[in-house]
Structure 1
Amino acid sequence: MTTNSLGFIGLGVMGEPMCRNLARKSGSAVHAHDLDSAALQRLAADGVQSAGSIAAVMKHADIVLLSLPSGEVVQQLAQQPDGLLANTRAGQIVIDLSTSPVDTTRALAKAFADKGVTFIDAPVARTRAAAEAGTLSVMVGADAATFERVKPLIATFATDIALCGPVGCGQVVKILNNMVLFETVVALSEAKAIGERAGVDPTLLFETLSKGSADSFALRSHGMKAMLPGAFPERAFSVRYARKDLAYALKLAQETGVDAKSARIVDEWYQAAIDAGLGDQYHPVVSRLLGGKT
C-alpha cells in the first residue's frame, strides 16, 4: 500500500505505537511531531522523520493524523497562530484520532472546509497493547469517499473500522462506548464489594459471572485483569482521562435532552478517586473506593 506523504502529531501512549504501525505498513514517508523527543528518537528506527513543528508537518504531509490528549488540545493546536489551520493547504485531509467533543469536531470540520481541507474524526478504542499489535477499533465520522480513501491507512493500526456517519458521528459512538464501559466498571466494582462483604471470593464471583449473562469485555479485562490483582498502573487510561471522556458524554446527553443519571453517578466516583489521590491511576481503581479502600 502506498499513498501520499503522511504526518502524525501526538506520540503519547497511543500515538507512538499507531505512528510506528503506520510507518511500517503504509509504504509512505511519515513526518511526526511531538514535544517528547524520546518518542521521536524511538520511531526513527522505523523510518519516521522528525518534524520540528506543526508547520513542518503540515508542509510535508498530504494526510495528517492527530493523536492528542483531548478535544481542547486539538482545538488549541488547530487555532493557534502557528497551528494547523494557519499552515494547511487545500486538498489536505486531517484525521483526528483523539476523543473530542462532538460540537468541537463539527466546528473544526467547518473551519477546515473553509480552507478546502477535509477534517474527519476517527477516535480509537482498546488498549495500548492493541495499538502496538495493530488491533484497535476505530469509529469514523466522514463522507463515504473520504472514508474509503483513509481506511487503508487506519487499517495499519486497527482491525475493526466502522463508518458511523458524517463528521462528528465517530465521536458520538466513541463517547458512548466509553460511557457504557465506565458505567459497567462501576457496576462491577459494586458487585465485587457486595460479594466480598457477603462472604464470596471475588475471583470466584467474576469467573462465575463470566459464564452467565453478566459477561462482558469490562468484566474480563477491567475486572479480572485489574480489579482482582489490584493492578492500577499509571500511564494507562487514568481516572482523569476517563473523567474527561465522561464529561463529553454528559455534555452530549445534556445537548440531546437525555437525563444520564448513571453517568453522573460514575462522575461522582471519579471525582472521589481524584480527591483521594488516585486520579493518575488506571480508572478501574475506583473499585478501591467502593470496597472501602484508598
Structure 2
Amino acid sequence: MTATRIGFAGLGNMGGRMCAAIVRGGREVLGYDVRPELVTAAGATPAGSAGELSDGSDIVLLSLPDSHVVEAVVLGDDGLLAHARPGQIIVDLSTAAPDSTTRIHRLLGERGAAYLDAGISGGAAAAERAALTMMVGGDPAVLERARPVLELFAADIFHCGPSGAGHTVKLLNNFLNAIALSATAEVMVAGKKAGLDLEVLLAVLNASSGVNFATLNRFPKIIHGDYLRGGLTNTLMLKDVNLYVELAARLGVASLNAAGPVASFGLARALGYADRISNTVVDAIGDLSGGVRLHTEEPAA
C-alpha cells in the first residue's frame, strides 16, 4: 500500500513546528510558504506553488494567519481547489471564520475532495512536543483517514461536529484564552505596583479560584523575563477575539466580556507590540500604568 503523501502550507511559528514534528515521525513532507527558507528550516521539500503542493499530496495541511489567506491559498487561480481531486483531504489548522470554512468545505466537496477544519491549542511548546490538542469539524470518516498523520503532532483529537464546528470550538477556546491572559496581565501589573512578591501572588492564585492557564503556564516565566517564544502575536490574538465577537453576533449571543481583551490587545498593537508574542500585553498595560515591568530584563520577541 502506497504511503500517504503529506503536504503542508504555512510554515511559520506553529506550522513550522508541526511540520518538523511530522518529519521527526519519519515522514516526508512537501512544503509551501511565501518565505521559502521556512520550508527547508522545517525539514520539508519545497513546492513552487499551492497548486504544485496539491498535485504532490494526498493530504494537505494548512496553518495560515486568517480566513483571507486560507481563501487565497485554496481558491486562488493556482490554488488547492483548482487542483483538488477525489479522495484528497485538506485539513485547515488555522483559526478561521466558520462561515468561510463551510463555504470552502462545499466547494471542495463538489470536486470530490474532503475538508476538515481542525483548530489547535497548546502553543509552541506543545507543538514541539507533538502534544497539541485538536478540535475537528467535518466528516468523522475523513477524520479517521487523516488521523495517522494528525497524531504525529497532536496528542488529543476531538471530533466536534460537522463542517465549521472545529473552528467554532477554536474561537470559543481562544476567547477564553484571551480573557485569561489579558485579565491576568492586569492583575500582575497591579500586584507589582502594590509591592507584592509576584511568585507568592502566583502561588496564591494557582491554589485559589483565580487559577487559569495564564497563571499556571505563562506568568511563572514572564515574571522572570521569559515571554515564551513562538505563540500568537498581539495582532493575531486581537483577530481571534474579533472573530469570536462576529460569531457571537451571528448566534445572537450578548458578548458582554469582549471589551476587555479587545481593549488590551488593541492597546498592545497601538503601543508597538503588534508583532510580538501576545504575552507582551502585560508590558502594554504596564506602559499605560506608569512604565511598570514585572522584571528587569528585556522581553524575548
The TM-score normalised by the length of structure 2 is: 0.89
Q: What is the alpha-carbon distance in structure 2 between the residues aligned to residue 246 and residue 2 of structure 1?
A: 42
The question of 1:194 aligning with 2:190 is answered yes
The question of 1:49 aligning with 2:39 is answered no
Aligned counterpart for 1:265 among listed residues 260, 265, 268: 260
Measured on the aligned residues, the alpha-carbon RMSD in Å equals 2.0
Q: What is the alpha-carbon distance in structure 1 between the residues aligned to residue 193 and residue 27 of structure 2?
A: 57
Aligned-pair CA distance for 1:179: 0.5
Q: Is the 8 A contact 2:218 2:228 kept in 1?
A: no
The question of 1:86 aligning with 2:85 is answered no
Matches within 5 A, 1:1-294: 3-25=3-25, 28-44=27-43, 48-226=44-222, 228-232=223-227, 236-291=231-286, 292=289, 293=291
Q: Is the 8 A contact 1:21 1:157 kept in 2?
A: yes
Q: What is the alpha-carbon distance in structure 1 between the residues aligned to residue 143 and residue 176 of structure 2?
A: 26
Inter-CA distance 233–128: structure 2 relative to 1 (3 Å threshold): closer
Q: What is the alpha-carbon distance in structure 1 between the residues aligned to residue 285 and residue 17 of structure 2?
A: 34
> C-alpha deviations, 1:149-184, integer Å up to 9, x for none?
111211100111111111111111111111001101
Inter-CA distance 195–111: structure 2 relative to 1 (3 Å threshold): same
> C-alpha deviations, 1:49-77, integer Å up to 9, x for none?
22111111111111111111112100111
> C-alpha deviations, 1:4-63, integer Å up to 9, x for none?
2111111111111211222332x554221112222222344xxx3221111111111111
Aligned-pair CA distance for 1:235: 5.1
Q: Is the 8 A contact 1:54 1:84 kept in 2?
A: yes
Work out the percentage of aligned pairs sharing the same amino acid. 34
Q: What is the alpha-carbon distance in structure 2 between the residues aligned to residue 9 and residue 55 of structure 1?
A: 11
Q: What is the alpha-carbon distance in structure 2 between the residues aligned to residue 64 and residue 173 of structure 1?
A: 22
Q: What is the alpha-carbon distance in structure 2 between the residues aligned to residue 197 and residue 128 of structure 1?
A: 31
Inter-CA distance 165–116: structure 2 relative to 1 (3 Å threshold): same
| Stretches of 4+ aligned residues off by more than 4 angstroms | none
Q: Is the 8 A contact 1:250 1:264 kept in 2?
A: no
Q: Is the 8 A contact 1:3 1:28 kept in 2?
A: no
Letter in 2 for 1:58: S
The TM-score normalised by the length of structure 1 is: 0.91
Aligned-pair CA distance for 1:247: 1.2
Query: How many aligned residue pairs are there?
Result: 289
Q: What is the alpha-carbon distance in structure 2 between the residues aligned to residue 72 and residue 196 of structure 1?
A: 40
Structure 1 unaligned segments of length 5 or more: list them: none
Letter in 2 for 1:270: F
Q: Is the 8 A contact 1:237 1:282 kept in 2?
A: yes
Comparing 94-103 with 277-286, which one deviates more in the overlay? 277-286
Q: In structure 2, the residue corresponding to 1:122 is in which secondary structure?
A: strand
Letter in 1 for 2:273: L
> C-alpha deviations, 1:235-291, integer Å up to 9, x for none?
542101111111111110111111212122210121111111121222122223433
